[in-house]
Structure 1
């Protein structure tokens, strides 16, 4: 990869630092997509020993790149995102990916194909961590920043996504306890 190509990729990815999500931090600041992606990747790193059968380096790669499409569309909360929104994000993302040097284009394309298919252990771990991080962030944010639907969503969201793993199911249950404690306080 040429140095200019490398810098151009970073300049596009930098947009995620300024792309805010609907979640807030503990101190009431809206979090960025970049912050979310970083913590999802950190979660994967911390779980290396819990999933010895999985290629956790691949999971971390998935976590780092999973929201790159939001460089072009911004963040749309999962409960508001339509099929049209997904199609637009995918088109803009793949249009950009197709301009990248072949070695990185192919790697990103293959990772996204695996992530979207949700057939491998690695893709299932990535998807679970992505959803769980959002729940954890909600539990860390002040409850008065939650939208009305998030009170129920935080109790039910992602149980189906973690069902393939006893460890992640236990984590989801712990997150639920935190949600209940927070909303009852």
Structure 2
């Protein structure tokens, strides 16, 4: 067996960790969501939304970026956005751990595959290209959709506010902004219903 296949096999086995690395998101059936489940639906969203985007997009690059963007969490773990929102020190630590993880993944994969994976991850993080902006927007929107589907008792107080902070991720695209409005409307209805039912 070639050394390259052994290295690729290692990366595939690393991906298994994303099946049991849990996010602070709960499913509608009361079970906690894994990173792998988030990534799968994010990929589905990209495929379904792509034909409606205003600009031509490299669909293959978009899907590849989505598939690998959370691979670092197999080593660095998932840190929820609400934990880093007002904590610059923790945000810096998160970035450092994730950078160490992607450096390690790059080194373990054969070239040029390692560099390709690394470059896609960096592109996603920098959010300068159209593909990276779309991937980032969908990433945030999928997380909010999942929150909307979960029992509201699983929401932290800060998540009520964060449900309406998605503009910064979608304002470059009218269609994604419209999609965001649908998601925010559902969040608002969920919050209003919970407030109505509370004693």
TM interval, shorter chain, is over 0.9
- How many residues end up aligned between the 2 structures? 184
8 Å Cα contact 2:82/2:159 also seen in 1: no
The answer on 1:183 being equivalent to 2:191 is yes
Separation in structure 2 between the aligned mates of residue 184 and residue 7 of structure 1, nearest angstrom: 48
Matches within 5 A, 1:66-105: 66-81=69-84, 82-105=91-114
Separation in structure 2 between the aligned mates of residue 99 and residue 41 of structure 1, nearest angstrom: 25
Q: Please report the TM-score for the alignment, with normalisation by the length of structure 2.
A: 0.88
Q: CA RMSD in A?
A: 1.3
Partner of 1:47: 49
Q: 1:164 aligns with which of 168, 172, 180?
A: 172
Partner of 1:144: 153
Larger radius of gyration: 2
After superposition, the C-alpha distances for 1:109-139 in whole angstroms (9 at most, x for unaligned) are 2212221222211110000000000000000
Partner of 2:197: none
- Give unmatched runs, 5+ long, in structure 1: none
8 Å Cα contact 1:25/1:31 also seen in 2: yes
- Give unmatched runs, 5+ long, in structure 2: 85-90, 194-199
| Runs of 4+, deviation exceeding 2 Å | 1-6
Partner of 1:32: 34
Q: Please report the TM-score for the alignment, with normalisation by the length of structure 1.
A: 0.94
